[in-house]
Amino acid sequence: MKNITLLITLSLALIFGFISCDTTNETGGTGTMSVAMTDAPANYDSVNVTINSVRVNKDENAETDSTKSDNEAEEEGWVTITDQSMKVNLLELTNGNTIMLGTEELEAGTYEQIRFILGDDNTVTVDGQTHDLQTPGSQQSGLKLNVEAEVEEGSNYTLLIDFDAARSIVKKGNGGYSLKPVLRAVSLSETGSISGTVQPSDFNTNVMAITGEDTVTSTITADNGEFLLIGLQAATYDVVFDPSSDQYTDSTQTGIEVTKGEETQLGTIELNSN
């Protein structure tokens, strides 16, 4: 009798154990994803982009349609990070400034793509004149960017999107402008930064972080000459200083090491006059 009771007990334990395992596999753990945006400087008065929603998906080949509701999109694997429409002047997001687009709890795992669904109120202002910014397809299918965002259970993952307005805006033959986005995405926790102060500071200086032949990111000095380059992967960079004043020459600091989670401080950079 004792053997029968023991056998029943073990059988029930195995059954409930399998049920428990199946439930865990179906639901999985959750983490949190935050999406922030920054920008490199561009030679425009302003670049205003309306972002209607931000969605992520574990499938890099998944397609999205802004006409579908969040519930319909969710059935196709999409997770909506935000559906609160916001108008962003990209040129205000330089020199280390960022804007938080949204934060959402979601299933842990690797998310392979992110899409920005744009509204139809997008403009670029050049020499005081504002032009409509054509964004073909971006209102419905969205701006797509492949990423490898690994969200771990119980943790927060911040995805930083570097929107390069200078490379993204194209002047058309008819005098209009269109948006062909050049975006870069990094895990904020995996990056470092470079800071310093450029003198003289009575004019702006463009500051660029370059590795090999690739300009990874850039910024423009503040009124006091300070600058901050963020979202840099751990690597060795050349930092180029390009003053807007013709009275001073370009200069470069080579071999600048960036370490994850740290700010590399260059101190004061004195520009050489012509």
How far apart CA 90 and CA 41 sit, in angstroms, is 9
Domain membership flag for residue 58: yes
Domain membership flag for residue 14: no
Domain membership flag for residue 6: no
Output the six-digit token pair for 6: 């023991």
Pair (48, 172) in one structural domain: yes
Domain membership flag for residue 18: no
Domain membership flag for residue 2: no
Pair (83, 135) in one structural domain: yes
What is the pLDDT tens value at each position of the chain, 274 positions in all?
444 343 333 343 433 343 344 333 334 699 999 999 999 999 999 999 999 999 999 998 888 776 777 777 787 899 999 999 999 999 999 999 999 999 999 999 999 999 998 888 999 999 999 999 988 765 556 788 999 999 999 999 999 999 999 999 999 988 899 988 889 999 999 999 999 999 999 999 999 999 998 999 999 999 999 999 999 999 999 999 999 999 999 999 999 999 999 999 999 999 999 8
Pair (155, 69) in one structural domain: yes
Q: At which of 155, 181, 207 does a domain end? A: 181
Give the global pTM.
0.83
Amino acid in the structure at residue 117 = I
Pair (197, 146) in one structural domain: no
Pair (147, 231) in one structural domain: no
Pair (78, 48) in one structural domain: yes
Return the CATH number at 271.
2.60.40.1120
pLDDT of residue 253: 97
Closest to 194 in 3D by CA, of 226, 160, 158:
226
C-alpha count within 13 angstroms, C-beta hemisphere, residue 257: 1
The boundaries of the domain holding residue 258 are: 191-274
Pair (197, 272) in one structural domain: yes
pLDDT of residue 134: 87
Closest to 58 in 3D by CA, of 12, 112, 101:
112
pLDDT of residue 11: 40
Pair (212, 161) in one structural domain: no
CB 272 within 8 A of CB 249: yes
pLDDT of residue 238: 98
User: What is the number of structural domains in the chain?
Assistant: 2
Q: How far is CA 116 from the centre of its chain?
A: 11
pLDDT of residue 82: 95
3-class secondary-structure state, position 171 = strand
Domain membership flag for residue 41: yes
